[in-house]
Copies of this chain bind each other. A is one copy, B any other.
Amino acid sequence: MIKDKNNWCIITIYVDIYVDVGNTHTVFGILQSNQNKDYQSIEKHLEELRFSTKNIETPEDIYSRLFPFINNNIQRKFKVDNIVVSSVVPQINFVIEKFVHKYTECNYFCWVEARDGLGIDWQTDEYKQMGADRVADILGAICVYNDNFVIIDFGTAITIDVIVDRKYVGGSISPGFMLLIKSLFQETAKLPMVEIEPTLKLVDNTTIGQIKLGTIDIICRGINSIITELKQTYKDIKIILTGGFSTIAQKIIINDIIIPKLQFIGMNYYLKLIKK
């Protein structure tokens, strides 16, 4: 046990930092370093720090934001062991990389990407273009349901990914709830902004209700139609919801489980696979 000059005990804690760089938000997930965690313990212990992606322009932007959270305790000293980054915004990747090298002294650093050796048969030549967020989601889902699953991630975009017998069957990409609402507001002369909230109605007779129905309920009905067919095609397939708006989607979407931290669970598993 190290002691400082006041004779206080200082405990050094090794942490892993998982970074999810999304189109809207960048989320830093901080977890005590120890790769053999099951998904429930990651769900429980991973601390999330969420910032607007557009405000991350320099390594200092990241350091000054993270510092108050990870060094707020004089009795504990944090050292970064591993950093895993999943990014869908290539233009800020060099900022992340500079931050890692300038400020973290981490032992190991890697980017999530679709590749061989992850135990997934991608079944398409295009898999290297797949968003790193979706790769992390898929690996996270493997930790929960080993075999057949559908992941629906409600973020800036709504992505669907289907894995059957460890094969990537395919998916879809739709605008997320916020984009749907914003696109109507920005591109029409008269329609107002509305709250992200389903109406749970068949039709509505107010403008605000009609927009909620036409943006939230209708896209969810469309997704349910796909889920229903997938459940008929692949027996025992599980439906996993994740992403910022999954708690709203859950009111309409057919689902088996909601895993808010799915992507971080996947990044933790990715690290295990890559460092083998």
Residues of A within 8 A of B (CB): 23, 88-91, 123-124, 126, 129, 131, 156-160, 162, 168-175, 179-180, 182-184, 187-191, 201-207, 209-211, 213-215, 217-226, 229-230, 233
Contacts and interface: CB of A to CB of B under 8 A. Distances in A.
A210 B129 CA distance: 12
Nearest to A190: B88
A88 B221 CA distance: 28
Given A183-B183, A220-B222, A222-B219, A172 B88 contact: no
B172 A213 contact: yes
Nearest to A207: B129
Contacts of A168: 205
Contact of A205 (B170, B180, B218, B220): B170
Contacts of A23: 187-189
A212 to B, nearest CB: 9
Nearest to A174: B214
Given A90-B190, A124-B205, A158-B214, 12 more contacts: A88-B188, A88-B190, A89-B190, A90-B189, A124-B206, A170-B203, A170-B205, A172-B214, A173-B213, A175-B184, A219-B222, A221-B226
A210 B131 CA distance: 12
A241 to B, nearest CB: 16
Nearest to A87: B189
7 contacts: A91-B189, A168-B205, A170-B202, A173-B184, A179-B187, A180-B183, A218-B223
**What is the oligomeric copy number?**
2
Contacts of A215: 173-175
A263 to B, nearest CB: 16
A225 B221 contact: yes
Nearest to A21: B189
Contacts of A157: 184, 188, 191, 214
A268 to B, nearest CB: 24
Nearest to A175: B183
Given A91-B189, A230-B202, A214 B131 contact: no
A53 to B, nearest CB: 9
A183 to B, nearest CB: 4
A182 B184 contact: no
Contacts of A179: 183-184, 187
Nearest to A179: B183
